[in-house]
Chains A and B, each alone.
Chain A
Amino acid sequence: MNDKPEKLIDKKGIRLDGRKADELRPLKLQVGVLPNADGSAYIEHGKNKILVGVFGPREMHPKHLSLSDRMVIRCRYHMAPFSVQERKSPAPSRREVELSKVIRESLEPSVFVDLYPRTGIDVFVEVLQADGGTRCAAITAASLAIADAGVPLRDLVVACAAGKVDDSVVLDLYDLEDKVGVADVPVAYMPNLNAVTLLQMDGVLSPEEFETAVNMAVEGCKKIYLLQKEALKTRYMTVKEEVEE
Protein backbone atom coordinates (compact mmCIF):
# COMPACT_ATOMS: atom_id res chain seq x y z
CA MET A 1 0.00 0.00 0.00
CA ASN A 2 2.98 2.32 -0.51
CA ASP A 3 2.07 3.07 -4.11
CA LYS A 4 -0.83 5.22 -2.96
CA PRO A 5 -1.99 7.49 -5.79
CA GLU A 6 -1.97 11.21 -5.06
CA LYS A 7 -5.13 12.02 -6.93
CA LEU A 8 -8.15 9.73 -7.22
CA ILE A 9 -10.04 12.07 -9.53
CA ASP A 10 -8.44 13.89 -12.49
CA LYS A 11 -9.10 17.45 -13.65
CA LYS A 12 -11.95 16.39 -15.91
CA GLY A 13 -13.70 14.72 -12.97
CA ILE A 14 -12.94 11.18 -14.16
CA ARG A 15 -12.07 8.61 -11.48
CA LEU A 16 -9.11 6.21 -11.61
CA ASP A 17 -11.24 3.36 -12.99
CA GLY A 18 -12.65 5.65 -15.69
CA ARG A 19 -16.03 6.40 -14.14
CA LYS A 20 -17.78 9.73 -13.65
CA ALA A 21 -18.69 10.86 -10.12
CA ASP A 22 -22.26 9.55 -10.24
CA GLU A 23 -21.63 6.41 -12.25
CA LEU A 24 -22.14 2.85 -10.98
CA ARG A 25 -19.81 -0.05 -11.67
CA PRO A 26 -21.10 -2.63 -14.18
CA LEU A 27 -23.60 -5.02 -12.57
CA LYS A 28 -24.71 -8.55 -13.31
CA LEU A 29 -27.43 -10.30 -11.31
CA GLN A 30 -28.68 -13.84 -11.52
CA VAL A 31 -31.38 -15.65 -9.53
CA GLY A 32 -31.79 -19.36 -8.80
CA VAL A 33 -28.19 -20.44 -9.30
CA LEU A 34 -28.01 -23.06 -6.51
CA PRO A 35 -30.47 -25.95 -6.91
CA ASN A 36 -29.72 -27.30 -3.40
CA ALA A 37 -30.78 -24.09 -1.63
CA ASP A 38 -34.41 -22.98 -1.29
CA GLY A 39 -33.49 -19.65 -2.85
CA SER A 40 -30.27 -18.25 -4.28
CA ALA A 41 -28.72 -15.36 -6.15
CA TYR A 42 -25.39 -14.33 -7.61
CA ILE A 43 -24.13 -10.80 -8.05
CA GLU A 44 -21.19 -9.31 -9.89
CA HIS A 45 -20.80 -5.69 -8.89
CA GLY A 46 -17.67 -4.38 -10.52
CA LYS A 47 -15.03 -6.86 -9.41
CA ASN A 48 -17.14 -8.10 -6.47
CA LYS A 49 -18.45 -11.62 -6.91
CA ILE A 50 -20.91 -12.81 -4.29
CA LEU A 51 -23.08 -15.91 -3.96
CA VAL A 52 -26.07 -16.01 -1.60
CA GLY A 53 -28.01 -19.12 -0.59
CA VAL A 54 -31.18 -19.05 1.51
CA PHE A 55 -32.71 -21.96 3.44
CA GLY A 56 -36.15 -21.96 4.99
CA PRO A 57 -38.48 -21.02 6.44
CA ARG A 58 -37.87 -24.13 8.51
CA GLU A 59 -37.90 -25.20 12.14
CA MET A 60 -35.23 -23.45 14.15
CA HIS A 61 -32.22 -25.45 15.21
CA PRO A 62 -31.37 -25.27 18.08
CA LYS A 63 -34.98 -24.98 19.14
CA HIS A 64 -34.43 -22.54 22.01
CA LEU A 65 -33.49 -19.80 19.53
CA SER A 66 -36.97 -19.81 17.99
CA LEU A 67 -39.42 -17.07 18.92
CA SER A 68 -43.06 -17.83 19.65
CA ASP A 69 -44.41 -14.77 17.85
CA ARG A 70 -42.21 -14.38 14.80
CA MET A 71 -39.73 -15.83 12.35
CA VAL A 72 -36.02 -15.56 13.09
CA ILE A 73 -33.58 -14.49 10.38
CA ARG A 74 -30.01 -15.69 10.67
CA CYS A 75 -27.27 -14.44 8.41
CA ARG A 76 -23.69 -15.49 7.85
CA TYR A 77 -21.44 -13.22 5.82
CA HIS A 78 -18.26 -15.02 4.92
CA MET A 79 -15.29 -14.15 2.76
CA ALA A 80 -13.56 -16.95 0.91
CA PRO A 81 -9.80 -17.26 1.66
CA PHE A 82 -9.09 -16.37 -1.99
CA SER A 83 -11.42 -13.35 -2.10
CA VAL A 84 -8.71 -10.78 -1.37
CA GLN A 85 -5.06 -10.20 -2.37
CA GLU A 86 -3.57 -11.53 0.86
CA ARG A 87 -5.06 -14.89 1.95
CA LYS A 88 -7.84 -14.29 4.42
CA SER A 89 -8.21 -16.77 7.26
CA PRO A 90 -11.47 -18.66 6.76
CA ALA A 91 -12.36 -18.26 10.44
CA PRO A 92 -14.99 -15.56 11.01
CA SER A 93 -13.29 -12.26 11.75
CA ARG A 94 -14.66 -9.41 13.84
CA ARG A 95 -15.57 -7.58 10.65
CA GLU A 96 -17.49 -10.54 9.25
CA VAL A 97 -19.48 -10.99 12.45
CA GLU A 98 -20.44 -7.33 12.34
CA LEU A 99 -21.35 -7.41 8.66
CA SER A 100 -23.52 -10.49 9.25
CA LYS A 101 -25.47 -8.52 11.82
CA VAL A 102 -25.68 -5.43 9.63
CA ILE A 103 -26.94 -7.40 6.62
CA ARG A 104 -29.48 -9.27 8.74
CA GLU A 105 -30.84 -6.08 10.22
CA SER A 106 -31.13 -4.38 6.85
CA LEU A 107 -33.12 -7.31 5.45
CA GLU A 108 -35.39 -7.85 8.45
CA PRO A 109 -37.78 -4.89 7.84
CA SER A 110 -38.56 -6.25 4.36
CA VAL A 111 -39.70 -9.70 5.54
CA PHE A 112 -43.16 -10.45 6.98
CA VAL A 113 -41.62 -12.10 10.04
CA ASP A 114 -44.85 -12.29 12.04
CA LEU A 115 -46.59 -14.59 9.54
CA TYR A 116 -44.63 -17.71 10.43
CA PRO A 117 -43.85 -17.87 14.16
CA ARG A 118 -41.40 -20.44 15.56
CA THR A 119 -39.56 -20.76 12.23
CA GLY A 120 -36.29 -19.41 10.92
CA ILE A 121 -34.54 -18.62 7.68
CA ASP A 122 -30.81 -18.86 7.12
CA VAL A 123 -29.05 -16.51 4.73
CA PHE A 124 -25.55 -17.55 3.70
CA VAL A 125 -23.50 -14.87 1.97
CA GLU A 126 -20.27 -16.10 0.41
CA VAL A 127 -17.92 -13.48 -0.97
CA LEU A 128 -15.85 -15.09 -3.73
CA GLN A 129 -14.05 -11.92 -4.73
CA ALA A 130 -14.06 -8.59 -2.92
CA ASP A 131 -13.43 -5.13 -4.31
CA GLY A 132 -15.09 -2.65 -1.95
CA GLY A 133 -18.77 -2.31 -1.22
CA THR A 134 -19.35 -6.01 -0.54
CA ARG A 135 -21.96 -5.36 2.14
CA CYS A 136 -24.10 -3.45 -0.34
CA ALA A 137 -23.75 -6.03 -3.08
CA ALA A 138 -24.48 -8.76 -0.52
CA ILE A 139 -27.70 -7.07 0.63
CA THR A 140 -28.90 -6.63 -2.96
CA ALA A 141 -28.27 -10.31 -3.73
CA ALA A 142 -29.58 -11.61 -0.40
CA SER A 143 -32.91 -9.86 -0.89
CA LEU A 144 -33.24 -11.51 -4.31
CA ALA A 145 -32.39 -14.91 -2.84
CA ILE A 146 -35.04 -14.52 -0.11
CA ALA A 147 -37.64 -13.60 -2.73
CA ASP A 148 -36.54 -16.64 -4.74
CA ALA A 149 -37.13 -18.85 -1.69
CA GLY A 150 -40.79 -17.78 -1.80
CA VAL A 151 -40.73 -15.82 1.45
CA PRO A 152 -43.34 -13.02 1.48
CA LEU A 153 -41.66 -9.60 1.32
CA ARG A 154 -42.82 -6.03 1.77
CA ASP A 155 -40.32 -4.93 -0.85
CA LEU A 156 -36.96 -5.88 -2.29
CA VAL A 157 -33.99 -4.29 -0.52
CA VAL A 158 -31.31 -2.61 -2.64
CA ALA A 159 -28.07 -1.25 -1.31
CA CYS A 160 -25.47 1.10 -2.68
CA ALA A 161 -22.72 3.26 -1.20
CA ALA A 162 -21.62 6.82 -1.81
CA GLY A 163 -18.62 8.56 -0.30
CA LYS A 164 -16.07 11.30 -0.46
CA VAL A 165 -12.91 10.92 -2.49
CA ASP A 166 -10.38 13.78 -2.71
CA ASP A 167 -12.72 16.76 -2.43
CA SER A 168 -15.88 15.54 -4.08
CA VAL A 169 -18.77 13.21 -3.28
CA VAL A 170 -18.90 10.16 -5.55
CA LEU A 171 -21.14 7.10 -6.02
CA ASP A 172 -20.27 3.43 -5.49
CA LEU A 173 -16.70 3.42 -4.16
CA TYR A 174 -14.39 0.58 -5.13
CA ASP A 175 -11.66 -0.91 -2.96
CA LEU A 176 -8.95 1.72 -3.55
CA GLU A 177 -11.33 4.70 -3.18
CA ASP A 178 -12.70 3.09 -0.03
CA LYS A 179 -9.24 2.73 1.52
CA VAL A 180 -7.62 6.01 0.38
CA GLY A 181 -10.79 8.12 0.24
CA VAL A 182 -12.18 10.37 2.97
CA ALA A 183 -15.57 8.80 3.77
CA ASP A 184 -17.95 5.97 2.86
CA VAL A 185 -21.75 5.97 3.32
CA PRO A 186 -23.49 2.65 2.60
CA VAL A 187 -27.27 2.90 2.26
CA ALA A 188 -29.84 0.09 1.95
CA TYR A 189 -33.22 1.14 0.63
CA MET A 190 -36.69 -0.21 -0.15
CA PRO A 191 -37.57 1.62 -3.36
CA ASN A 192 -41.34 1.15 -3.45
CA LEU A 193 -41.86 2.09 0.19
CA ASN A 194 -39.19 4.83 0.03
CA ALA A 195 -37.67 3.56 3.29
CA VAL A 196 -34.03 3.31 4.33
CA THR A 197 -33.11 0.08 6.19
CA LEU A 198 -29.38 0.64 6.60
CA LEU A 199 -27.38 3.81 6.95
CA GLN A 200 -23.77 3.78 8.03
CA MET A 201 -20.93 6.24 7.78
CA ASP A 202 -17.22 5.77 8.08
CA GLY A 203 -14.97 8.85 7.79
CA VAL A 204 -15.57 12.57 8.03
CA LEU A 205 -18.24 14.51 6.15
CA SER A 206 -19.86 17.92 6.62
CA PRO A 207 -23.66 17.85 7.08
CA GLU A 208 -24.12 19.13 3.51
CA GLU A 209 -21.78 16.51 2.06
CA PHE A 210 -23.53 13.80 4.06
CA GLU A 211 -26.87 14.82 2.61
CA THR A 212 -25.60 14.80 -0.97
CA ALA A 213 -23.95 11.42 -0.35
CA VAL A 214 -27.18 9.89 0.98
CA ASN A 215 -29.20 11.30 -1.92
CA MET A 216 -26.64 10.05 -4.40
CA ALA A 217 -26.66 6.56 -2.86
CA VAL A 218 -30.47 6.43 -2.97
CA GLU A 219 -30.39 7.38 -6.65
CA GLY A 220 -27.85 4.59 -7.20
CA CYS A 221 -30.15 2.16 -5.37
CA LYS A 222 -33.01 3.06 -7.68
CA LYS A 223 -30.86 2.26 -10.71
CA ILE A 224 -29.78 -1.09 -9.22
CA TYR A 225 -33.41 -1.88 -8.31
CA LEU A 226 -34.36 -1.92 -11.99
CA LEU A 227 -31.68 -4.54 -12.65
CA GLN A 228 -32.72 -6.49 -9.57
CA LYS A 229 -36.35 -6.65 -10.72
CA GLU A 230 -35.20 -7.62 -14.17
CA ALA A 231 -33.10 -10.51 -12.79
CA LEU A 232 -36.01 -11.92 -10.81
CA LYS A 233 -38.34 -11.74 -13.80
CA THR A 234 -35.79 -13.23 -16.20
CA ARG A 235 -35.69 -16.41 -14.13
CA TYR A 236 -39.34 -17.09 -14.93
CA MET A 237 -39.58 -15.42 -18.34
CA THR A 238 -36.99 -17.69 -19.97
CA VAL A 239 -39.24 -20.72 -19.56
CA LYS A 240 -42.17 -18.85 -21.04
CA GLU A 241 -40.19 -17.78 -24.08
CA GLU A 242 -38.77 -21.24 -24.74
CA VAL A 243 -42.27 -22.65 -24.90
CA GLU A 244 -43.66 -19.90 -27.07
CA GLU A 245 -41.01 -20.32 -29.74
Chain B
Amino acid sequence: MPTFFEKKQLVTPGELLAEGDYMPGENTYKEENRIYAQRVGLVDAENKRVNVVALRAFYVPKMGDIVIGQVTEVGFNGWTIDIKAPYSAMLRASDVLSRPFKPQNDELSQVLNTGDLIVAKIASYDRAHDPQLTVGEPGLGKITRGQIMRVTPTKVPRVIGKKGSMISTIKQETGCQIILGVNGVILVTGKTPADEDLAMMAIQKIEAESHTSGLTDRIAQLLKEEKSKMEEKKDE
Protein backbone atom coordinates (compact mmCIF):
# COMPACT_ATOMS: atom_id res chain seq x y z
CA MET B 1 0.00 0.00 0.00
CA PRO B 2 2.36 2.69 -1.13
CA THR B 3 1.84 6.41 -1.37
CA PHE B 4 3.49 8.39 -4.13
CA PHE B 5 4.02 11.80 -2.57
CA GLU B 6 5.93 13.68 0.07
CA LYS B 7 4.08 15.77 2.61
CA LYS B 8 2.93 19.14 1.22
CA GLN B 9 4.04 18.26 -2.30
CA LEU B 10 2.51 20.25 -5.15
CA VAL B 11 0.37 17.97 -7.33
CA THR B 12 -1.61 18.39 -10.56
CA PRO B 13 -5.00 16.89 -11.49
CA GLY B 14 -4.77 13.20 -12.36
CA GLU B 15 -1.58 12.57 -10.45
CA LEU B 16 -1.52 9.18 -8.75
CA LEU B 17 -1.33 9.76 -4.99
CA ALA B 18 -1.76 6.39 -3.31
CA GLU B 19 -2.58 2.78 -3.99
CA GLY B 20 -4.38 0.24 -1.82
CA ASP B 21 -6.12 0.76 1.47
CA TYR B 22 -6.60 4.55 1.38
CA MET B 23 -9.66 6.79 1.41
CA PRO B 24 -10.21 9.72 -0.93
CA GLY B 25 -10.47 12.99 1.00
CA GLU B 26 -10.90 16.53 -0.28
CA ASN B 27 -10.15 17.16 -3.96
CA THR B 28 -9.21 13.56 -4.64
CA TYR B 29 -11.05 10.63 -6.16
CA LYS B 30 -10.77 6.88 -6.11
CA GLU B 31 -10.74 4.59 -9.12
CA GLU B 32 -10.36 0.87 -8.55
CA ASN B 33 -8.04 1.09 -5.55
CA ARG B 34 -5.97 4.02 -6.59
CA ILE B 35 -6.32 7.59 -5.32
CA TYR B 36 -5.82 10.46 -7.78
CA ALA B 37 -5.80 14.26 -7.38
CA GLN B 38 -8.68 16.33 -8.76
CA ARG B 39 -7.16 19.79 -8.50
CA VAL B 40 -3.83 21.59 -8.34
CA GLY B 41 -2.82 21.71 -4.69
CA LEU B 42 -0.75 20.42 -1.81
CA VAL B 43 -1.21 16.77 -0.70
CA ASP B 44 -1.40 15.49 2.81
CA ALA B 45 -2.41 12.15 4.34
CA GLU B 46 -4.17 11.76 7.64
CA ASN B 47 -5.23 8.34 8.99
CA LYS B 48 -5.35 6.69 5.57
CA ARG B 49 -7.27 9.67 4.18
CA VAL B 50 -5.56 11.51 1.36
CA ASN B 51 -6.38 15.21 1.08
CA VAL B 52 -5.40 17.85 -1.44
CA VAL B 53 -5.55 21.47 -0.30
CA ALA B 54 -6.57 23.16 -3.55
CA LEU B 55 -4.68 26.24 -4.71
CA ARG B 56 -7.38 27.07 -7.25
CA ALA B 57 -11.08 26.38 -6.72
CA PHE B 58 -14.41 28.17 -6.77
CA TYR B 59 -16.97 28.57 -4.02
CA VAL B 60 -19.65 25.90 -3.66
CA PRO B 61 -22.53 26.91 -1.37
CA LYS B 62 -22.96 25.04 1.91
CA MET B 63 -25.75 25.39 4.47
CA GLY B 64 -24.78 27.69 7.33
CA ASP B 65 -22.00 29.53 5.48
CA ILE B 66 -21.71 33.29 5.98
CA VAL B 67 -21.27 34.91 2.55
CA ILE B 68 -21.08 38.40 1.11
CA GLY B 69 -23.11 38.99 -2.03
CA GLN B 70 -24.39 41.66 -4.36
CA VAL B 71 -28.00 42.26 -5.40
CA THR B 72 -28.29 41.65 -9.14
CA GLU B 73 -32.06 41.77 -9.53
CA VAL B 74 -35.10 43.00 -7.60
CA GLY B 75 -37.94 40.58 -8.18
CA PHE B 76 -41.62 40.31 -7.22
CA ASN B 77 -41.14 38.76 -3.82
CA GLY B 78 -37.42 38.81 -3.28
CA TRP B 79 -33.96 39.53 -4.62
CA THR B 80 -31.45 37.63 -6.71
CA ILE B 81 -28.01 37.77 -5.16
CA ASP B 82 -24.66 37.10 -6.81
CA ILE B 83 -22.59 35.19 -4.25
CA LYS B 84 -19.62 34.45 -6.56
CA ALA B 85 -20.62 30.80 -6.89
CA PRO B 86 -21.74 28.74 -9.88
CA TYR B 87 -25.31 29.33 -8.66
CA SER B 88 -26.99 32.66 -7.89
CA ALA B 89 -28.83 32.88 -4.57
CA MET B 90 -32.36 34.02 -3.66
CA LEU B 91 -33.27 36.22 -0.74
CA ARG B 92 -36.99 36.30 0.07
CA ALA B 93 -38.70 39.56 0.95
CA SER B 94 -40.54 38.04 3.92
CA ASP B 95 -37.17 37.14 5.42
CA VAL B 96 -35.92 40.72 5.32
CA LEU B 97 -39.08 42.56 6.32
CA SER B 98 -39.91 40.12 9.16
CA ARG B 99 -43.61 40.83 8.78
CA PRO B 100 -46.32 39.67 6.40
CA PHE B 101 -45.35 40.95 3.00
CA LYS B 102 -47.70 42.21 0.31
CA PRO B 103 -46.28 43.10 -3.11
CA GLN B 104 -48.88 45.91 -3.44
CA ASN B 105 -47.77 47.74 -0.31
CA ASP B 106 -44.00 47.36 -0.29
CA GLU B 107 -41.53 48.64 -2.82
CA LEU B 108 -38.70 46.14 -2.57
CA SER B 109 -36.12 48.32 -4.28
CA GLN B 110 -36.37 50.78 -1.36
CA VAL B 111 -35.15 48.08 1.01
CA LEU B 112 -32.39 46.65 -1.16
CA ASN B 113 -31.58 47.86 -4.64
CA THR B 114 -29.49 46.47 -7.49
CA GLY B 115 -25.83 46.85 -6.62
CA ASP B 116 -26.31 46.79 -2.85
CA LEU B 117 -24.01 44.50 -0.90
CA ILE B 118 -25.23 42.23 1.86
CA VAL B 119 -23.82 39.88 4.44
CA ALA B 120 -26.05 36.79 4.59
CA LYS B 121 -26.21 33.19 5.68
CA ILE B 122 -27.04 30.27 3.41
CA ALA B 123 -30.34 28.89 4.69
CA SER B 124 -30.69 26.00 2.28
CA TYR B 125 -29.00 24.53 -0.75
CA ASP B 126 -28.90 21.21 -2.56
CA ARG B 127 -28.06 19.85 -6.00
CA ALA B 128 -31.54 20.46 -7.38
CA HIS B 129 -32.24 23.93 -5.97
CA ASP B 130 -30.43 27.25 -5.98
CA PRO B 131 -29.24 28.49 -2.58
CA GLN B 132 -31.64 30.46 -0.35
CA LEU B 133 -30.24 33.20 1.86
CA THR B 134 -31.32 34.62 5.19
CA VAL B 135 -30.40 37.86 6.98
CA GLY B 136 -32.45 37.23 10.10
CA GLU B 137 -29.53 37.04 12.50
CA PRO B 138 -27.41 39.67 14.26
CA GLY B 139 -24.50 40.89 12.15
CA LEU B 140 -26.21 40.08 8.87
CA GLY B 141 -27.84 42.49 6.44
CA LYS B 142 -27.00 45.39 4.19
CA ILE B 143 -23.43 46.71 4.16
CA THR B 144 -23.33 50.48 4.66
CA ARG B 145 -19.64 51.21 4.96
CA GLY B 146 -16.21 49.71 4.41
CA GLN B 147 -14.40 48.23 1.44
CA ILE B 148 -14.84 44.92 -0.39
CA MET B 149 -12.14 42.66 -1.78
CA ARG B 150 -11.99 39.16 -3.24
CA VAL B 151 -9.66 36.24 -2.66
CA THR B 152 -9.75 32.66 -3.94
CA PRO B 153 -12.30 30.91 -1.67
CA THR B 154 -9.87 28.12 -0.79
CA LYS B 155 -7.60 30.68 0.80
CA VAL B 156 -10.13 32.00 3.32
CA PRO B 157 -8.94 29.52 6.02
CA ARG B 158 -5.42 30.79 5.44
CA VAL B 159 -6.56 34.39 6.02
CA ILE B 160 -8.10 33.25 9.31
CA GLY B 161 -4.94 31.39 10.30
CA LYS B 162 -4.47 28.75 12.99
CA LYS B 163 -7.16 29.40 15.63
CA GLY B 164 -7.71 32.84 14.11
CA SER B 165 -4.10 33.98 14.66
CA MET B 166 -3.71 35.65 11.29
CA ILE B 167 -7.00 37.54 11.26
CA SER B 168 -6.60 38.76 14.85
CA THR B 169 -3.10 40.05 14.03
CA ILE B 170 -4.49 42.11 11.15
CA LYS B 171 -7.43 43.35 13.23
CA GLN B 172 -5.12 44.41 16.07
CA GLU B 173 -2.51 46.10 13.93
CA THR B 174 -4.92 48.03 11.71
CA GLY B 175 -7.89 48.52 14.02
CA CYS B 176 -10.22 47.36 11.26
CA GLN B 177 -13.28 45.18 11.50
CA ILE B 178 -13.07 42.33 9.03
CA ILE B 179 -15.91 40.09 7.90
CA LEU B 180 -14.82 37.06 5.92
CA GLY B 181 -17.35 35.61 3.52
CA VAL B 182 -16.72 31.89 2.99
CA ASN B 183 -17.20 32.64 -0.72
CA GLY B 184 -13.96 34.60 -0.75
CA VAL B 185 -15.47 38.08 -0.52
CA ILE B 186 -14.04 40.09 2.37
CA LEU B 187 -15.45 43.24 3.98
CA VAL B 188 -12.96 45.55 5.67
CA THR B 189 -14.30 48.42 7.79
CA GLY B 190 -11.86 50.76 9.51
CA LYS B 191 -11.71 54.21 11.03
CA THR B 192 -9.92 55.69 8.02
CA PRO B 193 -9.55 54.54 4.40
CA ALA B 194 -5.78 54.29 5.01
CA ASP B 195 -6.34 51.67 7.73
CA GLU B 196 -8.57 49.73 5.36
CA ASP B 197 -5.99 49.87 2.58
CA LEU B 198 -3.36 48.53 4.94
CA ALA B 199 -5.53 45.59 5.99
CA MET B 200 -6.40 44.87 2.36
CA MET B 201 -2.76 44.92 1.35
CA ALA B 202 -1.97 42.39 4.06
CA ILE B 203 -4.78 40.10 2.91
CA GLN B 204 -3.60 40.35 -0.69
CA LYS B 205 -0.13 39.32 0.42
CA ILE B 206 -1.59 36.33 2.27
CA GLU B 207 -3.42 35.25 -0.86
CA ALA B 208 -0.33 35.47 -3.06
CA GLU B 209 1.89 33.60 -0.62
CA SER B 210 -0.66 31.31 0.97
CA HIS B 211 1.27 28.10 0.31
CA THR B 212 4.45 29.21 2.07
CA SER B 213 5.33 28.78 5.73
CA GLY B 214 5.99 31.37 8.44
CA LEU B 215 3.45 33.70 6.91
CA THR B 216 1.81 35.02 10.11
CA ASP B 217 5.14 36.38 11.37
CA ARG B 218 5.93 38.00 8.04
CA ILE B 219 2.50 39.66 7.89
CA ALA B 220 2.84 40.98 11.46
CA GLN B 221 6.24 42.43 10.60
CA LEU B 222 4.95 43.98 7.38
CA LEU B 223 2.03 45.63 9.16
CA LYS B 224 4.29 47.10 11.85
CA GLU B 225 6.67 48.50 9.24
CA GLU B 226 3.86 50.04 7.21
CA LYS B 227 2.29 51.53 10.33
CA SER B 228 5.48 53.23 11.42
CA LYS B 229 5.85 54.60 7.89
CA MET B 230 2.34 56.05 8.10
CA GLU B 231 3.05 57.67 11.44
CA GLU B 232 6.26 59.21 10.16
CA LYS B 233 4.26 60.84 7.38
CA LYS B 234 1.78 62.23 9.90
CA ASP B 235 4.55 63.76 12.01
CA GLU B 236 6.07 65.61 9.10
A interacts with B:
yes
A-side interface residues toward B, CB under 8 Å? 38-39, 56-59, 68, 110, 112, 116-119, 147-150, 152-156, 190-193, 229, 232-233, 236-237, 239-240, 243-244
Can you name 27 A-B residue pairings with CB atoms under 8 Å?
A38-B58, A57-B58, A59-B87, A117-B128, A118-B87, A147-B12, A147-B13, A147-B56, A148-B40, A149-B56, A150-B56, A150-B57, A152-B13, A153-B13, A153-B39, A154-B29, A154-B36, A154-B38, A190-B14, A192-B14, A192-B36, A193-B31, A233-B40, A239-B208, A239-B209, A239-B211, A239-B212
Q: How far is the CA of A68 from the CA of B126 in the complex (A)?
A: 12
| Overall SS of chain B's interface | loop
User: How many interface contacts (CB-CB < 8 Å) are there between A and B?
Assistant: 88
A233 contacts B10, CB within 8 Å? yes
**Which A residues lie within 8 Å of B152 (CB)?**
150
Q: How far is the CA of A88 from the CA of B31 in the complex (A)?
A: 45
**Which B residues lie within 8 Å of A192 (CB)?**
14-16, 36
Quick one: closest B residue to A155, CB to CB?
B14
Quick one: closest B residue to A38, CB to CB?
B58
A147 contacts B39, CB within 8 Å? yes
Q: How far is the CA of A239 from the CA of B155 in the complex (A)?
A: 15
B12 contacts A56, CB within 8 Å? no
**Which A residues lie within 8 Å of B15 (CB)?**
192, 229
Known: A116-B86, A147-B12, A192-B16. 13 other contacts (CB 8 A): A38-B58, A39-B56, A59-B87, A118-B87, A150-B56, A150-B154, A152-B39, A154-B36, A155-B14, A191-B14, A193-B31, A229-B12, A239-B211
Q: How far is the CA of A156 from the CA of B11 in the complex (A)?
A: 12
B38 contacts A152, CB within 8 Å? yes
Task: Give the shortest distance, in Å, between A173 (CB) and chain B (any CB).
Answer: 27
A236 contacts B29, CB within 8 Å? no
User: Which single member of B40, B208, B212 contacts A232 (CB below 8 Å)?
Assistant: B40
B12 contacts A156, CB within 8 Å? yes
A119 contacts B40, CB within 8 Å? no
User: Which single member of B13, B55, B57, B127 contacts A236 (CB below 8 Å)?
Assistant: B55
B14 contacts A154, CB within 8 Å? yes
**Is the CB of B27 closer than 8 A to any CB of chain A?**
yes
A154 contacts B13, CB within 8 Å? yes
**Is the CB of B91 closer than 8 A to any CB of chain A?**
no
**Is the CB of B54 closer than 8 A to any CB of chain A?**
yes
A243 contacts B56, CB within 8 Å? no
Task: Give the shortest distance, in Å, between A40 (CB) and chain B (any CB).
Answer: 12
**Is the CB of B124 closer than 8 A to any CB of chain A?**
no
A193 contacts B211, CB within 8 Å? no
Quick one: closest A residue to B154, CB to CB?
A150
Task: Give the shortest distance, in Å, between B233 (CB) and chain A (any CB).
Answer: 28
Q: How far is the CA of A56 from the CA of B211 in the complex (A)?
A: 24
Quick one: closest A residue to B10, CB to CB?
A233
**Is the CB of B204 closer than 8 A to any CB of chain A?**
no
Task: Give the shortest distance, in Å, between A192 (CB) and chain B (any CB).
Answer: 4
Q: How far is the CA of A12 from the CA of B31 in the complex (A)?
A: 46
Q: How far is the CA of A121 from the CA of B111 in the complex (A)?
A: 34
Quick one: closest A residue to B208, CB to CB?
A239
The 5 closest A-B pairs by CB, nearest first: A155-B14, A153-B13, A150-B56, A152-B38, A150-B57
User: Which single member of A39, A149, A156, A244 contacts B14 (CB below 8 Å)?
Assistant: A156
User: Which single member of A57, A118, A148, A154 contacts B56 (CB below 8 Å)?
Assistant: A148
**Which B residues lie within 8 Å of A149 (CB)?**
56, 58
A68 contacts B128, CB within 8 Å? yes
User: Which single member of A58, A153, A190 contacts B38 (CB below 8 Å)?
Assistant: A153
**Which A residues lie within 8 Å of B38 (CB)?**
112, 152-154
Q: A57-B58, A112-B38, A118-B87 are in contact. Are A153 and B14 (CB under 8 A)?
A: yes
Q: How far is the CA of A118 from the CA of B110 in the complex (A)?
A: 32
Quick one: closest B residue to A39, CB to CB?
B56
B86 contacts A243, CB within 8 Å? no
**Which B residues lie within 8 Å of A116 (CB)?**
60, 86
Q: A150-B39, A150-B58, A192-B36 are in contact. Are A155 and B13 (CB under 8 A)?
A: yes
Most buried by B among A38, A190, A239: A239
